[in-house]
């Protein structure tokens, strides 16, 4: 099950479970702006593709809540 991490690792922007987030196969999480414009759809951590994070249906959020684990790169992401 996806963690649905709550923020962008580059800029720290809060991401709701239904936001337009991008993830890699290790669930590194980025906002669409950082993923598309800064990272060019490549994860800076593993080199994998960044793809649209699936949206968990609202009816299942209470039973399977998103993670509260925040990860932010100390110096952001460089272009």
User: Quick one: which H or E segment has residue 31?
Assistant: strand 29-31
Average the pLDDT over 51-62 and give the result.
Answer: 94
For the chain, the residue count is: 79
State how beta strands 29-31 and 51-52 pair: unpaired
Q: Which CATH class is domain 1-54?
A: alpha beta
| Residue 79: band (very low, low, confident or very high) from pLDDT cuts 50, 70, 90 | low
pLDDT at position 1 over 90: no
Dihedral of CA atoms 16, 11, 24, 42 in degrees, nearest 10, equals: 140
Query: What angle (nearest 5°) sits at the alpha carbon of residue 57, between those of residues 11 and 72?
Result: 15
Predicted structure pTM score: 0.90
**What are the boundaries of each domain within the chain?**
1-54
Q: Who contacts 68 (Cβ-Cβ below 8 Å, separation ≥6)?
A: 6
What is the pLDDT confidence band of residue 64, given thresholds at 50, 70 and 90? very high
pLDDT reported for residue 76: 81
Dump pLDDT digits (tens) for 4-52: 999 999 999 999 988 889 999 999 999 999 999 999 999 999 999 999 9
């Amino acid at each position: 099950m996806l963690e649905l991490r709550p923020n962008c690792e580059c800029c720290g922007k809060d991401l709701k479970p239904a936001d337009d987030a991008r993830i890699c196969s290790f669930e590194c999480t980025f906002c669409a702006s950082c993923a598309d414009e800064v990272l060019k759809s490549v994860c800076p951590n593993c080199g994998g593709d960044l793809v649209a994070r699936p949206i968990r249906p609202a009816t299942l959020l209470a039973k399977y809540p998103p993670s509260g684990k925040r990860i932010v790169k100390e110096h952001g992401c460089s272009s």
